[in-house]
Chain A
Amino acid sequence: KAGVTQTPRYLIKTRGQQVTLSCSPISGHRSVSWYQQTPGQGLQFLFEYFSETQRNKGNFPGRFSGRQFSNSRSEMNVSTLELGDSALYLCASQEGGLNTGELFFGEGSRLTVL
């Protein structure tokens, strides 16, 4: 089975722009979660989708949004980028409806905001 695929791997944006990141989960996995990883804040939960519905959301401003498609692929969008949004954005998938925490992570999308 192919692993979790995130695109793009690296991107550079300027303040005020918006960005869309994509995540393709492992085949058969219906849950997709997004995490932001920074040296200062560590790993912070953004949101989790299961069968196209957002099940849980972290404490991030409304500029951060996401969605999941019928094929379980997910996208997250950040609008009006700020310097502090520079981070590694990790996507993770899992198979079942109940969160057992056994997440399979992608390699991440590294966003730099200038």
Chain B
Amino acid sequence: AQTVTQSQPEMSVQEAETVTLSCTYDTSENNYYLFWYKQPPSRQMILVIRQEAYKQQNATENRFSVNFQKAAKSFSLKISDSQLGDTAMYFCASTFGNEKLTFGTGTRLTIIP
């Protein structure tokens, strides 16, 4: 079965600190994409960062970066210099080589002023 697991239901961190959200997955596919999506309270889901499985270099987008360990099937998200606007549900997801996204259960992140 192709699954995405997020083991941290909730996290909180002080503003300006760095936080890492964990994600592991299971697949036998070799070519797939991995994503972190952000869903702010009562607002629409947006893409934070994307990683192609065949690329060894970790993706970065401004304050957001990933640690992609393909052999370990791990895909964590690091948020540096966290801001109040980072408060949201964060979902790890993958295509696993087909036309749908499989999501993890999410991590609720709260940035404390």
| Residues of chain A at the chain B interface (Cβ within 8 Å) | 3-4, 31, 33, 35, 42-43, 45, 48, 50, 55-56, 58, 90, 92, 99-108
A106 and B106 CA atoms in complex are apart in Å by 18
Contacts of A3 in B (CB 8 A): 44
Query: How many residue pairs, one in A and one in B, have C-beta atoms under 8 Å apart?
Result: 57
Instruction: Give the size category of B's interface with A.
Output: 20 to 34
Contacts of B45 in A (CB 8 A): 90, 92, 105
Q: A43-B91, A107-B44 known; A101 and B106 CB under 8 Å?
A: no
The answer on a CB contact under 8 Å between A102 and B47 is: yes
| Residues of chain B at the chain A interface (Cβ within 8 Å) | 33, 35, 43-47, 50, 91, 93-95, 98-106
A90 and B93 CA atoms in complex are apart in Å by 15
- The majority secondary structure among interface residues of chain A is strand
The residue among A42, A58, A106 with the most chain B CB atoms within 10 A of its own CB is: A42
Give the contacting residue for B50; candidates A4, A102, A106; CB below 8 A: A102
The answer on a CB contact under 8 Å between A99 and B100 is: yes
Query: Closest CB-CB distance, A108 to chain B, in whole Å?
Result: 7
Contacts of A43 in B (CB 8 A): 91, 93, 101, 103, 106
The answer on a CB contact under 8 Å between B101 and A55 is: no
Give the contacting residue for B102; candidates A4, A45, A106; CB below 8 A: A45
Give the contacting residue for A58; candidates B44, B94, B95, B100; CB below 8 A: B100
Contacts of B102 in A (CB 8 A): 45
Q: A43-B91, A101-B35, A101-B93 known; A108 and B99 CB under 8 Å?
A: no
Contacts of A45 in B (CB 8 A): 100-102
* 13 intermolecular pairs with C-beta atoms under 8 Å apart: A3-B44, A4-B44, A31-B99, A42-B104, A43-B91, A43-B106, A48-B100, A50-B99, A55-B99, A56-B100, A90-B45, A99-B95, A106-B44
